[in-house]
């Protein structure tokens, strides 16, 4: 698949077989007995008289568009890439590189688009089609009736047909090129005629593009002619005069002949047979070659008649009306309306042979511009707003005096003051020729928000009022008021906002707790209370729940007196001096490792003498006493002593006499501190 923004053009994509009914016969040979051949019928379907709308991807120019399409070839894009080659235009079964579809562009008045007609009548009589009776996709179709002259002038030659159709391969994701196709392969049929503007008359021209089926009628297509390099816009044949024919004349007159069609000059047939056709149609001698009279024109009584026999006219008209009435489809109505202007009964009036081509799709558009995009664009007068086109010197002044426009973009306009004085005021719209500052940032004279237009009326130094902003304010107010939904939305918005605020403020003044913050969701009250309670509990748990006991009390401080080395050495029974001495030589760690530790007694061999027992008893009593000191300070026996072993506790802060007193007590622990703090808080609050 090609990249986005790129596409590949192919000359054609040929199907394996053309459309039609095939018989598939499968035979089995080489068996000892005979097997009856199996026959399968295959129907290869393709559009023939109408193009299904889902096969049409796009058309150019767009249907019903008006624009300058004069230098572009109309085209139709079909989704199925093989569509233009699914039938053989020569009426054969084999495939052919010549497509059976051609896009023909006719101007208003050149041809006749029929109403819905049985498909058998949609082709020129005596045309031989392959499987005409069995292979038809619809019962009724449209056809284009054109005179031989017009065919010779505007239809493509047979050699043109292959060049006017190609296949395009695009990326399906490229919206600009594929615009919704499923596989990115598209068949494009081009027209061979430029839908030019009528430059001479300066008139727009309405064209209709018809996708026609040329099957079986290749011989009717024009032969190649020597080309020329210039062309002139004129209708190939102008039948629009038929619009002026009085259709109310009775059938008798028509049958008898000699209808007065006024001064209408019907188009002459090609080849200059009847260059100057007289005003009355009665003198036209030759009859239509397609007369259906069985005895031939000479023997038929109709030979003297100027028009088709009235019975024929009537029957076609009724058929058409009936066909249209049968189909209440809106699509058909639209197509009919688009075909209007291409409905002149050419067949009834044409003297020469009229050919019919089935129309698979048609749309009309109008070329309304002689100038091209490029020339118009380059002639556009470009400037900033406030630029007045210069009038040529000496040119007569226009009817109205030029407007009073100043460099700031203001324009002087008539203004009637409230007293009724006719004065002039300045006005400048929202479109200004230079960047401006916004609001108060400018001169600081504008209010942040104007409540009435008079607040933003200004008087400029020349004494005139500048009503620009006041006018903007007023038109804004009127535009707002003109839409009920806007007014109600505005009032609802303001009253909701104000209402929320007022209710909250009133609640806040009567309730002892903080109102929940405004959030986007509705507040669940129980949840709100729970969350609020947890918040309060966490903030001061000792107050809401009670003081918390520390996990562990800090231990009693160790009192060490003297040199730490000596204490350790004497406790372990080491000779400190010896260790130190050895440490100077081998390092203190090695010295300690080498030192001999005295062993008091070996395991299970304790010898207790009286002196030892006395010492141990003394030590035990000492420990007991110190433990009792902690438990019952009033039994204090050790004077002086500690300044409290609780690190960081409030006990060390001499805030009051009571605390100072507690601090004097020895061996207080964390629980004491908590109890004291709680008591103190209660004291403060009461």
Partner 1 sequence: MNQYLSATVAIDAAIVAAQDYASIVTDRDPDDGDHVVPGELRRFLARLRLLHGVPFSYLVPDANLLPIESMRFFYIDRAWTDALVQGVLSVGTISTADRTQLEAVYPAIRDDVDEAERTIRRPIGEKRLEGTGGAITGFLMRSRLVSGWPNLHVRAYSRDVLEDDALTTVAESDPNRMKVLRMERLAPAVLLVLFDGVPAVVHIEEPRQGIQFGVRLDPAAPPAQRRAKVKVRDCNTGDPVPPKTTFTSANSVDVPFRRNAPGVLDVVELRKRLAAKAPNSGGTLEPNEYALQMLRFPYRQVFGDPDDLEGQKFYNLDAFKVSIALTTWKTTVAAKVNTVNP
Residues 69-128 that bind partner 1 (CB under 8 A): 70-73, 75, 77, 107
- To the nearest whole angstrom, how small is the minimum distance from the Cβ of residue 103 to partner 1? 11
- Show Cβ contacts of residue 44 under 8 Å, excluding neighbours closer than 6 positions: 17, 18, 19, 20, 21, 22, 86
- Could you say whether residue 13 binds partner 1 (CB under 8 A)? no
DSSP secondary structure code for residue 205 in this structure: E
- Could you say whether residue 64 binds partner 1 (CB under 8 A)? no
Task: Return the number of the residue (376 or 660) whose C-beta is nearest partner 1.
Answer: 376
- To the nearest whole angstrom, how small is the minimum distance from the Cβ of residue 468 to partner 1? 6
Contacting residue, 284, 446, 576, 592, with partner 1 by CB under 8 A: 446
- Could you say whether residue 267 binds partner 1 (CB under 8 A)? no
3-state secondary structure of 58: strand
Task: Return the number of the residue (279 or 501) whose C-beta is nearest partner 1.
Answer: 501
- Show Cβ contacts of residue 218 under 8 Å, excluding neighbours closer than 6 positions: 89, 90, 98, 158
Binding positions for partner 1, 411-440, rule CB under 8 A: 411, 413, 427-439
Which span (260-268, 290-298, 314-322, 468-476) binds partner 1, by CB under 8 A? 468-476
φ, ψ of residue 204 in degrees (nearest 5): -65, 150
d(CA 80, CA 13) in angstroms, rounded, equals: 10
Task: Return the number of the residue (49 or 427) whose C-beta is nearest partner 1.
Answer: 427
d(CA 252, CA 313) in angstroms, rounded, equals: 13
- To the nearest whole angstrom, how small is the minimum distance from the Cβ of residue 112 to partner 1? 18
- To the nearest whole angstrom, how small is the minimum distance from the Cβ of residue 493 to partner 1? 5
- To the nearest whole angstrom, how small is the minimum distance from the Cβ of residue 355 to partner 1? 16
350 burial via Cβ count (<10 Å: 0-12, 13-18, 19+): buried
Cβ contact 265:239 at 8 Å: no
Rounded alpha-carbon distances, angstroms, from residue 551 to 189, 514, 557, 588, 670: 94, 36, 18, 40, 10
- Could you say whether residue 195 binds partner 1 (CB under 8 A)? yes
Tell which residue, 61, 76, 115, has the closest CA to residue 335: 115
- Could you say whether residue 15 binds partner 1 (CB under 8 A)? no
- Could you say whether residue 188 binds partner 1 (CB under 8 A)? yes
- To the nearest whole angstrom, how small is the minimum distance from the Cβ of residue 73 to partner 1? 5
- To the nearest whole angstrom, how small is the minimum distance from the Cβ of residue 393 to partner 1? 18
Cβ contact 195:205 at 8 Å: yes
Task: Return the number of the residue (65 or 578) whose C-beta is nearest partner 1.
Answer: 65
Task: Return the number of the residue (374 or 685) whose C-beta is nearest partner 1.
Answer: 374
Q: Print the binding letters for residues 658-677 with partner 1: x by CB under 8 A, - otherwise.
A: --------------------
- Could you say whether residue 62 binds partner 1 (CB under 8 A)? yes
Q: Print the binding letters for residues 469-498 with partner 1: x by CB under 8 A, - otherwise.
A: xxxxxxxxxxxxx-x-xxx-xxxxxx-xxx
- To the nearest whole angstrom, how small is the minimum distance from the Cβ of residue 498 to partner 1? 6
Which span (35-43, 443-451, 572-580, 626-634) binds partner 1, by CB under 8 A? 443-451
Task: Return the number of the residue (469 or 592) whose C-beta is nearest partner 1.
Answer: 469
Binding positions for partner 1, 517-536, rule CB under 8 A: 518, 520
Binding positions for partner 1, 567-626, rule CB under 8 A: none
Cβ contact 385:411 at 8 Å: no
Task: Return the number of the residue (196 or 351) whose C-beta is nearest partner 1.
Answer: 196
- To the nearest whole angstrom, how small is the minimum distance from the Cβ of residue 464 to partner 1? 15
Cβ contact 136:48 at 8 Å: yes
Binding positions for partner 1, 200-239, rule CB under 8 A: 200, 222, 224-236
Task: Return the number of the residue (7 or 22) whose C-beta is nearest partner 1.
Answer: 7
- Could you say whether residue 406 binds partner 1 (CB under 8 A)? no
Question: Hey, what's the torsion of the CAs at 228, 234, 236, 237, to 10 degrees?
Answer: -150
d(CA 464, CA 404) in angstroms, rounded, equals: 13
Which span (140-148, 192-200, 634-642, 663-671) binds partner 1, by CB under 8 A? 192-200
Cβ contact 443:429 at 8 Å: no
- To the nearest whole angstrom, how small is the minimum distance from the Cβ of residue 256 to partner 1? 37
Cβ contact 135:19 at 8 Å: yes
Task: Return the number of the residue (5 or 654) whose C-beta is nearest partner 1.
Answer: 5
- The string of DSSP codes covering 234-298 is --SS--GGGGGS-TTS-HHHHHH-----TT--PPPPGGGTTSS--SSGGG--PPPTT---TTHHH
Task: Return the number of the residue (496 or 542) whose C-beta is nearest partner 1.
Answer: 496
Cβ contact 144:356 at 8 Å: yes
Which span (239-247, 510-518, 616-624, 628-636) binds partner 1, by CB under 8 A? 510-518
Contacting residue, 43, 64, 179, 570, with partner 1 by CB under 8 A: 179
- To the nearest whole angstrom, how small is the minimum distance from the Cβ of residue 260 to partner 1? 32
- Show Cβ contacts of residue 200 under 8 Å, excluding neighbours closer than 6 positions: 232, 233
Task: Return the number of the residue (225 or 596) whose C-beta is nearest partner 1.
Answer: 225
Task: Tell me the β-bridge partners of 141.
Answer: 117
d(CA 186, CA 78) in angstroms, rounded, equals: 6
Task: Return the number of the residue (168 or 668) whose C-beta is nearest partner 1.
Answer: 168
Binding positions for partner 1, 342-401, rule CB under 8 A: 368-369, 371-389
Cβ contact 309:256 at 8 Å: no
Task: Return the number of the residue (501 or 618) whose C-beta is nearest partner 1.
Answer: 501
- Could you say whether residue 68 binds partner 1 (CB under 8 A)? yes
- To the nearest whole angstrom, how small is the minimum distance from the Cβ of residue 483 to partner 1? 7
- To the nearest whole angstrom, how small is the minimum distance from the Cβ of residue 517 to partner 1? 11
- CA 91 vs. chain centroid, Å, equals 47
Cβ contact 629:637 at 8 Å: yes
- To the nearest whole angstrom, how small is the minimum distance from the Cβ of residue 205 to partner 1? 9
Task: Return the number of the residue (172 or 194) whose C-beta is nearest partner 1.
Answer: 194
- To the nearest whole angstrom, how small is the minimum distance from the Cβ of residue 284 to partner 1? 23
Q: Kindly give the pairing relationship between strand 38-44 and strand 20-26.
A: antiparallel
Give the number of other CB atoms < 10 A from CB of residue 652. Answer: 13
Cβ contact 554:645 at 8 Å: yes
Task: Return the number of the residue (434 or 528) whose C-beta is nearest partner 1.
Answer: 434
Cβ contact 99:161 at 8 Å: yes
Tell which residue, 158, 150, 182, 169, has the closest CA to residue 57: 182
Contacting residue, 30, 296, 512, 647, with partner 1 by CB under 8 A: 512
Number of residues that bind partner 1 (CB under 8 A): 148
Rounded alpha-carbon distances, angstroms, from residue 215 to 90, 124, 132, 353: 6, 11, 11, 19
Which span (14-22, 26-34, 187-195, 333-341) binds partner 1, by CB under 8 A? 187-195
Q: Print the binding letters for residues 21-60 with partner 1: x by CB under 8 A, - otherwise.
A: -------------------------------------x-x
- Could you say whether residue 504 binds partner 1 (CB under 8 A)? yes
Question: Hey, what's the torsion of the CAs at 346, 350, 355, 359, to 10 degrees?
Answer: -10
């Amino acid at each position: 698949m090609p990249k986005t923004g790129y596409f590949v053009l192919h000359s054609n994509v040929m199907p394996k077989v053309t459309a039609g009914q095939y018989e598939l016969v499968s035979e089995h040979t080489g068996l000892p007995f005979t097997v009856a051949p199996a026959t399968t019928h295959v129907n290869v379907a393709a559009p023939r008289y109408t193009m299904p709308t889902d096969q049409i991807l796009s058309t150019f120019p767009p249907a019903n568009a008006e624009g300058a399409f004069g230098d572009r070839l109309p085209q139709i894009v079909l989704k199925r890439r093989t569509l233009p080659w699914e039938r053989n235009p020569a009426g054969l079964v084999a495939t052919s590189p010549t497509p059976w579809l051609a896009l023909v562009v006719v101007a208003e008045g050149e041809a006749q688009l029929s109403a819905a007609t049985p498909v058998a009548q949609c082709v020129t009589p005596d045309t031989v089609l392959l499987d005409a009776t069995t292979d038809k996709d619809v019962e009724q179709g449209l056809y284009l009736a054109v005179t031989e002259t017009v065919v010779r002038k505007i239809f493509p030659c047979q050699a043109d047909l292959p060049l006017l159709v190609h296949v395009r391969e695009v990326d399906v994701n490229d919206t600009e090129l594929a615009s919704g196709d499923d596989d990115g392969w598209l068949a494009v049929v081009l027209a061979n005629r430029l839908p030019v503007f009528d430059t001479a008359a300066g008139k727009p021209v309405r064209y209709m593009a018809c996708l026609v089926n040329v099957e079986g009628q290749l011989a009717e297509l024009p032969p190649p002619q020597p080309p020329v390099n210039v062309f002139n816009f004129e209708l190939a044949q102008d039948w629009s005069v038929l619009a002026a024919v009085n259709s109310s004349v009775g059938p008798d007159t028509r049958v008898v002949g000699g209808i007065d069609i006024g001064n209408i000059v019907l188009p002459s047939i090609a080849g200059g047979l009847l260059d100057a056709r007289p005003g009355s149609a009665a003198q036209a001698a030759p009859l239509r070659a397609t007369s259906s009279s069985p005895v031939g024109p000479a023997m038929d009584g109709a030979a003297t008649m100027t028009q088709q026999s009235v019975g024929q006219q009537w029957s076609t008209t009724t058929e058409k009306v009936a066909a249209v009435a049968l189909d209440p489809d809106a699509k058909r109505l639209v197509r009919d309306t688009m075909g209007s202007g291409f409905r002149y009964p050419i067949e009834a009036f044409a003297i020469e042979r009229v050919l019919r081509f089935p129309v698979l799709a048609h749309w009309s558009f109008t070329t309304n511009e002689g100038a091209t995009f490029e020339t118009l664009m380059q002639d556009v007068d470009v400037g900033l707003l406030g630029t007045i086109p210069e009038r040529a010197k000496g040119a007569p002044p226009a009817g109205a005096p030029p407007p009073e426009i100043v460099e700031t973009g203001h324009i002087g306009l008539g203004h009637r003051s409230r007293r009724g004085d006719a004065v002039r005021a300045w006005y400048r719209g929202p479109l200004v020729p230079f960047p401006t500052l916004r609001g108060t940032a400018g001169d600081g004279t504008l209010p942040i928000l104007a409540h009435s237009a008079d607040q933003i009326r200004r008087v400029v130094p020349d004494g005139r009022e500048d009503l620009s902003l006041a006018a903007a304010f007023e038109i804004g107010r009127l535009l707002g008021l003109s839409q009920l939904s806007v007014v109600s939305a505005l009032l609802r918005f303001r009253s909701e906002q104000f209402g929320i605020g007022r209710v909250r403020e009133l609640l806040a003044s009567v309730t002892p707790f903080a109102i929940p913050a405004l959030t986007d969701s509705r507040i669940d009250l129980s949840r709100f209370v729970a969350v609020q309670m947890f918040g309060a509990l966490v903030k001061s748990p000792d107050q809401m729940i009670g003081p918390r006991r520390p996990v562990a009390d800090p231990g009693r401080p160790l009192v060490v007196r003297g040199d730490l080395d000596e204490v350790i050495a004497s406790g372990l029974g080491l000779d400190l001096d010896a260790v130190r001495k050895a440490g100077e030589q081998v390092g203190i760690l090695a010295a300690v490792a080498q030192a001999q530790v005295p062993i008091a007694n070996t395991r299970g061999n304790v010898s207790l003498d009286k002196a030892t027992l006395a010492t141990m008893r003394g030590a035990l009593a000492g420990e007991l006493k110190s433990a009792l000191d902690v438990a019952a300070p009033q039994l204090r026996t050790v004077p002086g002593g500690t300044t409290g072993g609780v690190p960081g506790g409030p006990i060390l802060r001499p805030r009051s006499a009571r605390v100072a007193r507690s601090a004097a007590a020895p061996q207080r622990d964390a629980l004491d501190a908590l109890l004291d703090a709680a008591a103190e808080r209660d004291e403060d609050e009461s």
